[in-house]
């Protein structure tokens, strides 16, 4: 058995952005994430519950690739999606029940950011 590396949590996630300024505005204004800093006008950093999110242009002038799906946990998924729609976010799949767990129902819905990355809001709805 291999020794543990001691990984305790995800420290940072990078998402590609063809236009970092446009993406920065989306994550600030539409998602309301706390902006940490912008480096050289090319990298934008946000705090998401202790995990840092970095928006960056593609490496080596390659065509931007879509990143992993980020699942943001919210308390009221219906209200959050209503706010996303009101702010013009592109909804991919409205909130829906994914699974009935022993102590909660898991709901998810999907939308796109300004760069075409698919994102999700999820809620653990307890009775």
User: Residue 35 in contact with residue 29, Cβ under 8 Å?
Assistant: no
Q: 5-18, pLDDT tens digit by residue?
A: 576 788 889 898 98
> Residue 16 burial (CB < 10 Å; 0-12/13-18/19+)?
buried
Residue 57 lies inside a defined structural domain of this protein: yes
Residue 23 lies inside a defined structural domain of this protein: yes
Q: Characterize 40-78 residue by residue with b for buried, 16 or more Cβ atoms within 10 angstroms of its Cβ, and e for exposed.
A: eeebbbbebeeeebbbbbeeeeeebeebeebeeebeebe
Residue 64: strand, helix, or coil = coil
Cα-trace Rg, the chain: 16
Residue 36 lies inside a defined structural domain of this protein: yes
Q: Which among 17, 82, 61 has a CA at the least distance from the CA of 43?
A: 17
Residue 7 lies inside a defined structural domain of this protein: no
Residue 23: how many CB atoms within 10 A of its CB?
Answer: 21
User: Residue 15 in contact with residue 54, Cβ under 8 Å?
Assistant: yes
Residue 58 lies inside a defined structural domain of this protein: yes
Residue 53 vs residue 4, higher pLDDT: 53
Determine the pLDDT at residue 5. 54
The 43-48 sheet, strands edge to edge: 12-16, 51-56, 43-48, 34-39
Residue 95 lies inside a defined structural domain of this protein: yes
| CATH at 75 | 3.10.180.10
Determine the pLDDT at residue 32. 95
Domain of 24?
Answer: 12-125
Determine the pLDDT at residue 9. 80
Where residue 3 falls among pLDDT bands split at 50, 70, 90?
low
Residue 1 lies inside a defined structural domain of this protein: no
Q: 55-107, pLDDT tens digit by residue?
A: 988 776 556 566 778 889 999 999 999 999 999 999 999 999 999 999 999 99
Q: 20-52, pLDDT tens digit by residue?
A: 999 999 999 999 999 999 998 889 999 999 999
User: Residue 30 in contact with residue 76, Cβ under 8 Å?
Assistant: no
Structurally, the chain folds into a number of domains equal to 1
Residue 2 lies inside a defined structural domain of this protein: no
């Amino acid at each position: 058995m291999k020794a543990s590396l001691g990984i305790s949590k995800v420290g940072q996630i990078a998402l590609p952005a063809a236009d970092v300024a446009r993406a920065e505005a989306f994550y600030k204004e539409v998602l309301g994430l706390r902006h940490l800093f912008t480096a050289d006008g090319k990298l934008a950093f946000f705090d998401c519950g202790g995990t840092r999110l970095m928006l960056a242009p593609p490496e080596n002038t390659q065509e931007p690739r879509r990143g992993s799906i980020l699942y943001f946990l919210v308390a009221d998924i219906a209200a959050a999606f209503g706010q996303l729609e009101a702010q013009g976010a592109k909804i991919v799949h409205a909130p829906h029940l994914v699974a009935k767990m022993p102590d909660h129902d898991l709901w998810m819905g999907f939308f796109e950011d300004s760069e075409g990355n698919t994102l999700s809001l999820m809620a653990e709805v307890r009775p």
